[in-house]
Amino acid sequence: MTPPNRLVSIVVPFYNEGQGADAFYAAITPVFDRVPDCDFEVVCVDDGSRDDTLQRLIGLVERDKRFRTIELSRNFGKEAALTAGIDAARGDAVIPIDADLQDPPMLIPELIAEWQRGSEVVLARRADRTSDSFIKRKSAEFFYRSHNHLSTIKIPENVGDFRLMDRVAVDALKALPEQQRFMKGLFAWIGFRTSVVDYTRHQRAVGDTKFSGWKLWNLALEGITSFSTAPLKLWTYVGLAGAMLTLLYGAYIVFRTIVHGVDVPGYASLLVAVLFLGSVQLIGIGVLGEYVGRIYMESKRRPSYIVRKRHERDEN
């Protein structure tokens, strides 16, 4: 008896991607025919879009029974939308991918081939990122190196959310309790037997990026504070170094006073020292506040997302 085909779930977050929904459908569906020994489902997550994205996704559901749409109650952000899609996926393997087609769907058969050879996680690594701007490439490089230097959990460089995860890895990911989720870090934290497939990153098919510089900065802070306490330790050493310098300077003042007597001038240097140390203290309090704020948000135990409605074809 021929064993049934294994199910592969494609998870796609959408936010104001109405113009690209049909282009994504046209790009993803031919891939399914290239892997005849697998069945596919596509879990589209509408992350509170303000354009016609939801209507277009519902249209895809009505056109193709392999498509399902998860409608979130508002915009929760990409990390939450990705979490919602992974939670809803039913497949033996799950592949998150962006709707902008910068990560090529035609790579999916290669990811599946590596999975069938025994890998539990297959990373899609961007070997060529010339389609991204110079600033984006350099900022991403700086983030990965900074994060991996500060954290014991190493995030693979030039690897985004596009990857394949076996069901055992997906179940481990779903068991993690964080509400504030930095998915790239969580993907790396769970581990499992991993292989890598290289590819060339494409230009966006339609639309503009939804990540501004400010959002990317906040995402970077989320990643570092979620997986490292090194910034807290750093300010301990900064304080220790400041105390040592103060003691040395104090000893110098005492020595100079004994030798030369009391010297009244020094208001300018005193003002600079007070302002400098005050600024250092405020920065340290800010770093501490980042961690306390995340503890506060986690303590509320609010869900990462709320589903307003699920749209899928009736199997009957």
**Above pLDDT 70, what percent of the chain?**
72
41: β partners:
9
Q: Is the predicted pLDDT of residue 147 greater than 80, yes or no?
A: no
CB 124 within 8 A of CB 162: yes
6-212+303-312 belongs to which homologous superfamily? Spore Coat Polysaccharide Biosynthesis Protein SpsA; Chain A (3.90.550.10)
CA neighbor of 10 nearest in space, from 159, 122, 197, 162: 162
CA–CA distance, 182 with 170 (Å, rounded to integer): 15
Name the band, by pLDDT with cuts 50, 70 and 90, for residue 132: low
Note if the pTM is more than 0.75. Answer: no
DSSP 8-class letter at 17: -
* Domain range list for the chain: 6-212+303-312, 230-300
What contacts 177, CB < 8 A, 6 or more positions away? none
pLDDT value, residue 261: 62
CB 14 within 8 A of CB 45: yes
Q: Which long-range contacts (CB under 8 A, 24 or more apart) does 101-105 make?
A: 101/20, 101/23, 101/24, 101/27, 101/202, 101/204, 101/205, 102/131, 102/201, 102/202, 102/203, 102/204, 102/205, 103/160, 103/162, 103/199, 103/201, 103/202, 104/199, 104/200, 104/202, 105/27, 105/28, 105/31
CA neighbor of 93 nearest in space, from 163, 160, 164: 164
CA–CA distance, 202 with 128 (Å, rounded to integer): 9
Q: What is the pLDDT of residues 237-284, one digit of tens each?
A: 777 777 677 767 767 766 766 766 655 566 556 666 776 777 777 777
pLDDT value, residue 137: 65
* Least confidently predicted of 8-17, 68-77, 128-137, 276-285: 128-137
Q: Is the predicted pLDDT of residue 131 greater than 70, yes or no?
A: no
DSSP 8-class letter at 103: S
The amino acid sitting at 102 is Q
42: β partners:
10, 67
